[in-house]
Amino acid sequence: MPMSERAYRALLVAYPSEHRRLYGDPMNQLFRDRMRRDGGGLGTLNVWVQMGFDLVASAFKERMAALMAIETWTSRWWEASVVLLIVNSMVFGFTFTNSDHLGWGIATGFAPAVLLLTGLALKNSHPRGATVLLTVASVGAGFAWWAIYTVVLALTVVVGGFRSGRIGHEPPEPVAVS
């Protein structure tokens, strides 16, 4: 097999595996036909430039299509999101209810549960929306809650601490009583 064909065959790895399985051989065949017709000297370079652009553009398109296809959002993804959401909920709920922030504890305990139930309810009728909702809930909300909690905690300690005089001031010197 000529080097060009070997190289093109290797580059097909840019496509999703399912696409390669179905169309890898005919694509190779077409490349071979093009090389046979137009290859040789500068012709080979010309074919490679065309094939290069075609490969990059179409592989990107196929990858995006595979990514957006609901079939690829497997049940494993769902299971991972659900587990993450439940763990997230438990950790945040526990953390907040065992601190001074009972309201946050209730909110973070219930909000993921509501999102999870909504996602499950929509799973069949609106599978893509439900999956996005669950993913955002389990991953995005987790980060958001941590960020909010950190800011609230920082404000409580810094602002509250300054106001109460516990932070930023030297403790008063003991007064000697004669």
Partner 1 sequence: MNPENIVDLLPLPVAQLHILLALADGEKHGYAIMSEVEVMTGGSVTMGPGTLYGTVKRMLNSRLLEEIDERPDPVLDDQRRRYYRLTGLGARVLTAEVARMEQLARTAERKRTLGTRQLGLEGR
Name the site residues for partner 1 (rule: CB under 8 A).
15, 19, 22-23, 25-31, 33-34, 50-51, 53-55, 57-59, 61-62
Q: Toward partner 1, which CB reaches closer, 56 or 155?
A: 56
Nearest of 128, 96, 126 to residue 112 by alpha carbon: 96
CA distance 88 to 91: 5
Least Cβ distance, residue 29 to partner 1 (angstroms): 6
Least Cβ distance, residue 88 to partner 1 (angstroms): 37
Reduced to 3 states (helix: H, G, I; strand: E, B; else coil), residue 126 is: coil
Q: Toward partner 1, which CB reaches closer, 27 or 133?
A: 27
Q: Toward partner 1, which CB reaches closer, 14 or 82?
A: 14
Q: Toward partner 1, which CB reaches closer, 59 or 122?
A: 59
Nearest of 4, 12, 10 to residue 39 by alpha carbon: 4
Report the 3 state secondary structure along 145-176. Answer: HHHHHHHHHHHHHHHHHHHHCCCCCCCCCCCC
Q: How long a stretch of residues is the chain?
A: 178
Least Cβ distance, residue 123 to partner 1 (angstroms): 21
Least Cβ distance, residue 17 to partner 1 (angstroms): 14
